[in-house]
Chain A
């Protein structure tokens, strides 16, 4: 793997990141707004108040625009698996196949039936059945997200599978271990609840605009009450799921955790750096050490966050790269040697099988299986092991900005809820403008969350098993560049259309719904 074209890997990664980020611009609003609409329609059905019907239809129209423009943008990711990441695609085929197939079937049934009833069924089906359809759209779209996130969770913590050396594919041996892996569950709950908060911020932001324009004021205030209550509960839930995610990360992806916290030297009673400025320490090999200037720390919190014990030892980047015998942590050089043995044993096994040498095949398979957990490290046996350290500043800053924005959202949702319930929100211009300008911040926060999750686990496509350099297809980097720019143009066009149609519909207001 020394002769791998790194520009091919970088362009393939950039293309996937671009597509995933554009796709993610549409998804969280769908996830959250579907539930907010369902709550609004429930109020309409229970009270019979026609204003709630207009409110529901207004937000449903915005949901529909976002859904229509965003639908199928995720399919491009699957094309990229087959073209740009063929080794990976083959390697994980059976594990990814099941969740993605379930997702496809669920999305198909949901999109063709219940969304049609939700939009076309007003006054054609009973109120109760229409409401049921709206709830099923919300539940269905969130369950659809479950399967994608389970697949992603498996990449972060591969469980419930066994590698078949004859077919070169991982095969699922325990579906429940894949579905209920601690990483997958935390990822699903944390991701969907971030979508709920984003949707709540969207609703209160758009409602704020209506209030600032003195339009549909009663309906805008009612929308704010539902959205802020929903968003507030989701924000509190995010704190819990974020805590769970951090603990799962410390256990299963310690390098990501150390990088996110810029913890170079492992320590007991590790403090949490609330904020600080990173400064590269040029003296350290690999430049993995970054000093934190002007930092604010809370003692013991990092140890507690990672292992629910303020005295717990949290391994640092240095421990993981260079090893720590006292703590039983092998170095990356040792893991690379073990991985190299696994790679060579796999080749020996295949050759022995082809030659009909069963005893050599059995012996090679035994070596392979005992070293498989380090398989991916083998690609770094003749490379610089510091390549196994993710981008520290990007992960460190992304995490902190995301958390600060999360606190801002929580406070804003609380203030908006109180003022809306008391009917005093209409004349609070600072709050209304803040809510309006928080809409883009909500999108930024959710993107930063993905940056922490995905940049923080580099270079792994599958944690410890398959790095990007081994997963990529042997294409020309120039062809990946061309499609990168095609996507950039296509998605930017879709985004402009989305924003244009959304704002045109918002300008019409709620009463026209």
Chain B
């Protein structure tokens, strides 16, 4: 089925079957990562940073205050109005 899907990419006048395009995009990224020098160190930093941000910080230290305390938007809205209309 994929053989019937043809796409023109990167402005080139050749038309490629869809599967071949996916393979070439994959090898484009793979080759790019393989040829990196400074980039490898950077990817390690990015990976560690994303782990710290999304796993450690988000899950442990930064739960969404309203999401974690209330079941639906109505309850959340009522809580905020209660907070905003406190008179003392």
Are the CB atoms of A69 and B45 closer together than 8 Å? yes
Please state if B50 and A126 are interface contacts (CB–CB under 8 Å). Answer: no
A350 to B66, CA, bound (A): 19
Q: Please, how many angstroms separate the alpha-carbon atoms of A505 and B57 in the complex?
A: 31
Give the complex CA separation of A475 and B83 in angstroms: 13
What is the CA–CA distance of A494 and B49 in the complex, to the nearest angstrom?
9
| Complexed CA–CA distance, A456 and B73 (Å) | 34
Are A497 and B45 in touch, CB under 8 angstroms? yes
**Are A68 and B45 in contact, CB atoms less than 8 angstroms apart?**
yes
Closest chain B residue, CB of each to CB of A343: B85
Expressed in whole angstroms, the minimum distance between the Cβ of A441 and any Cβ of chain B is 27
A349 to B29, CA, bound (A): 58
- Let me know if B41 and A501 touch, CB within 8 A: yes
Q: In the complex, A482→B67 CA distance in Å?
A: 22
User: What is the interface of chain B mostly: helix, strand, loop, or mixed?
Assistant: helix
Residue pair B84, A470 in contact (C-beta under 8 Å): yes
Contact A347 B28 (CB under 8 A): no
Q: B19 on the interface (CB 8 Å rule)?
A: no
Q: Which residues of A contact B31 (CB under 8 A)?
A: 120, 124
Query: Chain B nearest CB: distance from A317 CB in Å?
Result: 28
Binding stretch for chain B, among A48-56, A82-90, A209-217, A240-248? A82-90
Residue of B nearest to A382 (CB): B88
A-facing mask of B62-80, CB < 8 A → 1, else 0?
A: 1111110000010011101
- Contact of B77 (CB < 8 Å), options: A72, A80, A166, A483: A166
Report if A61-B87 is in contact (Cβ < 8 Å); known contacts: A126-B11, A347-B81, A483-B62. Answer: no
How many cross-chain pairs have Cβ atoms below 8 Å apart between A and B? 125
Residues of chain A contacted by B11 (CB below 8 angstroms): 126, 128-129
- Residues 96-140 (chain A) with a chain B CB within 8 angstroms: 116, 119-121, 124-126, 128-129
Q: How far is the CA of A211 from the CA of B77 in the complex (A)?
A: 61
Q: Which single residue of chain A is at the shortest CB-CB distance from B32?
A: A120
Cβ of B38 within 8 Å of any chain A Cβ, yes or no, is yes
Query: Is B52 among interface residues, defined by CB-CB distance under 8 A?
Result: yes
A472 to chain B, nearest CB (A): 10
How many Å lie between the Cα of A126 and that of B32 in the bound state?
16
Instruction: Report how far A479 CA is from B85 CA in the complex, Å.
Output: 25
B77: chain A residues within 8 A (beta carbon): 90, 166-169
- Tell me the bound Cα distance from A483 to B32 in angstroms: 37
A494 to B52, CA, bound (A): 12
Please list 19 pairs of residues, one from A and one from B, whose beta carbons are closer than 8 Å in the complex, sorted by A's number: A64-B42, A68-B45, A72-B46, A72-B50, A76-B53, A79-B57, A79-B62, A83-B62, A86-B80, A87-B80, A87-B83, A91-B80, A116-B32, A120-B29, A128-B11, A129-B11, A344-B87, A482-B61, A501-B38
